[in-house]
Amino acid sequence: MKIYIDGKFCDEKNAKISVFDHGLLYGDGIFEGIRAYNGRVFRLKEHIDRLFYSAKAIMLNMPLTHEEFMKATVETCRRNNLKDGYIRLLVTRGVGTLGLNPNKCKKSSVIIIADKIQLYPQEFYEKGLTIITVPTTRNLHSALNPAIKSLNYLNNILAKIEANNGGCEEAIMLNSEGYVAECTGDNIFLVKGRQLLTPPLSAGALYGITRKVAMDIAREMGFEVLEPNLTRYDVFNADECFLTGTGAEVVPVVKVDGRVIGSGIPGPVTLEVVTRYLQLVHASGEPIFPAKKGKR
Ligand code: PXG
């Protein structure tokens, strides 16, 4: 595998960064998780836009332009001959001193890894997930805003540990007021009648790119899409529940904190969103390989 580090492609075994990089020392950096399907990078522009918003929020100087990030991402896929896979793009604060002052870091670093994707087992999509609510609440937006996709993911990792301890793959995280925020690495949706509900971003959720796509799909299906504050009560009494994320795509949830959701099997609305999502990801995106001449 060839890894992009600051403009150069390195073999995996030589792909190394300094132990003085503040990304490592303090989790001082940002990232994106992006998917490629069928030789195209899905929603690349949106991911790069979000990367720039994260950079702005943490006052990280970006060493590349939007265009250059997009080119470097596509090029990393091409060098690895990746048609379908998962791309991890990181920007760290760069090499500094042992003090936490970011001003000591002269230049931020860019790392792009284009790898095969570890898919969730097919069973999760067919039978639906059982999830729980975990005790660790989502970060306060006044402390570390969950909209920032930072390299400091301990809040989510603590919740993931609690999910795993409870025998689950994913978990609902509440915010400090007790409203549903999101899951550890996915946004959450409820179907109630002809409405699709998802927590507002102010409840403490990432501005999920899959979230946005799911909302657009639901509107196309004739659903009213709302973003009210949601409680666990709303989740328990929903007709259907599903999660969205670049990695997980759209996954049905059939049980939450011991309560069966709807009929206890993935519902028709969820399945339709899954179908439309998969059609979209396979038919759109930034091409990785140049089109062959004469063949269209
Ligand atoms: N919320 C959080 C906290 C996330 O990290 C999402 C929602 C979904 O956003 P997108 O834009 O992907 O629809 C994410 C992103 C993993 C993993 O290994 C998952 C994410 C990021 C990095 C790793 O499960 N999900």
* pLDDT tens figures, 99-157: 999 999 999 999 999 999 888 899 999 999 999 999 999 999 999 999 999 999 999 99
Counts of helices then strands in the chain (DSSP H, E) = 8, 16
Which residue range forms the structural domain that includes residue 140? 122-281
Write the CATH number for 233: 3.20.10.10
CA-187 nearest atom, ligand 1: 7
State which H helix or E strand residue 127 sits in: helix 122-127
Mean pLDDT of the chain: 97
Same domain, 126 and 255: yes
Give the chain's domain count: 2
Q: Provide mean pLDDT across the span 4-29.
A: 98
Q: State if residue 170 touches ligand 1 by the CB under 6 angstroms criterion.
A: no
In a shared domain, residues 151 and 184: yes
168-211 pLDDT tens trace: 999 999 999 999 999 999 999 999 999 999 999 999 999 999 99
Per-residue pLDDT of 30-85, as tens digits, reads 999 999 999 999 999 999 999 999 999 999 999 999 999 999 999 999 999 999 99
pLDDT of residue 294: 61
Say if ligand 1 is within 6 A of residue 144 CB.
no
Q: Going by CA atoms, what residue is nearest to atom 19 of ligand 1?
A: 185
Q: Are 142 and 241 within one domain? A: yes
Helix (H) or strand (E) holding 260: strand 259-260
User: Do 169 and 222 have their domain in common?
Assistant: yes
pLDDT of res. 290: 87
186 lines ligand 1 (CB under 6 A): yes
Report the Cα 261 to chain-centroid distance in Å. 24
- C-beta of 244 in contact with ligand 1 (< 6 A): yes
Distance of CA 294 from the midpoint of ligand 1 (Å): 39
Residues 6 or more apart whose Cβ sits within 8 Å of residue 49: 66
Q: 3-state secondary structure string, 52-78? A: HHHHHHCCCCCCCCHHHHHHHHHHHHH
pTM recorded for the entire structure: 0.96
* Same domain (yes/no): 58, 145: no
156 and 215 in a single domain? The answer is: yes
Given a contact cutoff of 8 angstroms between Cβ atoms, the answer to whether 185 and 134 are in contact is: no
128 or 290, greater pLDDT: 128
- Ligand 1 contact, 204 CB (< 6 A): no
86 and 135 in a single domain? The answer is: no
Residue 38: CATH number of its domain: 3.30.470.10
Which residue is catalytic, options 149, 212, 293, 295?
Answer: 149
For atom 5 of ligand 1, the residue with the nearest CA is 185
The verdict on 182 and 269 lying in the same domain is yes
Residue at token pair 């030589």: 14
Q: Tell me whether residue 250 is in a domain.
A: yes
Active-site residue 56, yes or no?
no
